């Protein structure tokens, strides 16, 4: 299904690209965005800081099979990106993990996958090195 040539370029690090990668940068910026969050930390519902993990892979298919079941719940086109961004949700009951997938503008071979939340259940499909790689890369930045 998916290519095994999925190589991680870099985790959610500081993107130095201003134009063309506004989407990716926006994701990272949202995590470090403290101005609005710190301002609203009182009164309303507190926004739980769900860990975000973004990485890029080189694959010909948008949907990377990580062993989990995902249900697509939306698709929006981002600015400066000819390719639309897809929104997926884990179908596991109780597992409110979300995932976003989008391609890089200009480089359709590069797919940016952003995971939001943590899986509380094991993989539904074993024997998958991809998931193993993800688990190994479970990074939770101190935001």
Partner DNA sequence: CGATTTTGACCAGCGC
Partner DNA sequence: GCGCTGGTCAAAATCG
Note the residues at the interface with DNA (CB under 7 A).
22-23, 26-27, 30, 33, 35-37, 40, 69-79, 85, 87, 89, 91, 98, 100
CB of 63 to DNA, least distance (A): 7
Q: Which is nearer to DNA, 8 or 30 (CB)?
A: 30
Q: Which is nearer to DNA, 57 or 83 (CB)?
A: 83
- What the block records as the tokens of 137 is 């890369």
CB of 108 to DNA, least distance (A): 17
| Three-point CA angle 103, 58, 131, nearest 5° | 105
CB of 136 to DNA, least distance (A): 26
Q: Which is nearer to DNA, 58 or 69 (CB)?
A: 69
CB of 134 to DNA, least distance (A): 19
Q: Own/partner pairs for 13-22, CB < 8 Å, 24+ apart?
A: 19/80, 20/80, 20/81, 20/104, 20/105, 20/106, 21/80, 21/104, 21/105, 22/78, 22/79, 22/80, 22/81
Counts of helices then strands in the chain (DSSP H, E): 3, 5
Q: Which is nearer to DNA, 57 or 114 (CB)?
A: 114
């Amino acid at each position: 299904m998916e290519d095994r040539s999925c190589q991680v370029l870099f985790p959610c690090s500081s993107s130095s690209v201003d134009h063309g990668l506004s989407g990716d940068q926006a994701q990272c910026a949202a995590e470090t965005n403290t101005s609005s969050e710190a301002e609203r930390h009182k009164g309303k519902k507190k926004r739980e800081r769900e860990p975000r993990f973004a990485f890029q892979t080189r694959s010909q298919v948008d949907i990377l099979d990580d062993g989990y079941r995902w249900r697509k719940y939306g698709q929006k086109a981002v600015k400066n990106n000819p390719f639309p961004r897809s929104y997926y949700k884990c179908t596991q009951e109780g597992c409110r993990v979300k995932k976003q997938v989008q391609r890089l503008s200009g480089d359709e071979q590069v797919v940016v996958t952003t995971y939001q939340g943590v899986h509380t259940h094991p993989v539904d499909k074993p024997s998958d090195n991809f998931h193993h790689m993800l688990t190994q890369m479970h990074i939770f930045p101190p935001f």
